[in-house]
């Protein structure tokens, strides 16, 4: 029977657990945090992209349930941790640089000027309200993605993909 899952050939024919284990042996140190993102599709898109970049963990802060359809089953291949509170999440982030991707704060600097630490957690927030003030205060750095059109920002799923790529370019590809 043909394996129709959206997997690269190397993982075709393996069980979900075998794929998870194989990926675990070569995960990057990057972690992703999603705080109160309202749209399930955006959460799923971020999870799918996190799998593509083989991040070590995805933290979902606040809201737990989401429609995994946008993740295209990739949530089976990486560790997703739910934190009911911000305090629970922060306890897991010792010795990590917290970098918020947020355009609605004077603290934010351009993403392209950032030199990422290896042990980074990228933080993404709500489409409507952004990252909470409390979490922004805890972030070590805040960056925004430059926009060249009439829209002041890109979709949170697209922002996550851009930021994950930039971290990967600096820490994996170089």
Beta-carbon contacts of 55 under 8 Å, excluding residues fewer than 6 positions away, are: 27, 28, 30, 31, 32, 78, 164
Going from the N-terminus, what domains does the chain have, and what CATH number goes with each?
Answer: 14-171 (3.40.1280.10)
Q: Which helix (H) or strand (E) holds 112?
A: none
Average pLDDT over residues 39-54: 89
Statement: residue 145 has pLDDT above 70: yes
Average pLDDT over residues 112-125: 97
Statement: residue 66 has pLDDT above 70: no
Whose CA is closest to 44, among 89, 78, 21?
78
pTM: 0.93
Is 4 within 8 Å of 72 (Cβ atoms)? Answer: no
- pLDDT of amino acid 124: 97
């Amino acid at each position: 029977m043909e394996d129709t899952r959206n997997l690269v050939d190397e993982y075709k024919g393996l069980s979900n657990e075998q794929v998870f284990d194989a990926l675990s042996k070569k995960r990057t140190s990057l972690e992703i945090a999603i705080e109160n993102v309202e749209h399930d599709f955006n959460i799923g898109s971020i999870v799918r992209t996190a799998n593509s970049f083989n991040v070590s963990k995805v933290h979902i802060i606040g809201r737990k349930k989401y429609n995994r359809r946008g993740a295209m089953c990739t949530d089976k291949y990486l560790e997703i941790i739910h934190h009911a509170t911000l305090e629970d999440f922060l306890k897991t982030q010792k010795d990590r640089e917290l970098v918020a991707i947020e355009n609605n704060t004077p603290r934010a600097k351009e993403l392209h000027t950032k030199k990422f630490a290896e042990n980074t957690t990228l933080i993404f927030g709500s489409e409507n309200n952004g990252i909470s003030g409390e979490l922004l205060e805890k972030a070590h750095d805040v960056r925004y993605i430059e926009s060249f059109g009439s829209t002041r920002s890109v979709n949170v799923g697209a922002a996550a993909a851009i930021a994950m790529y930039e971290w990967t370019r600096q820490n994996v590809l170089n």
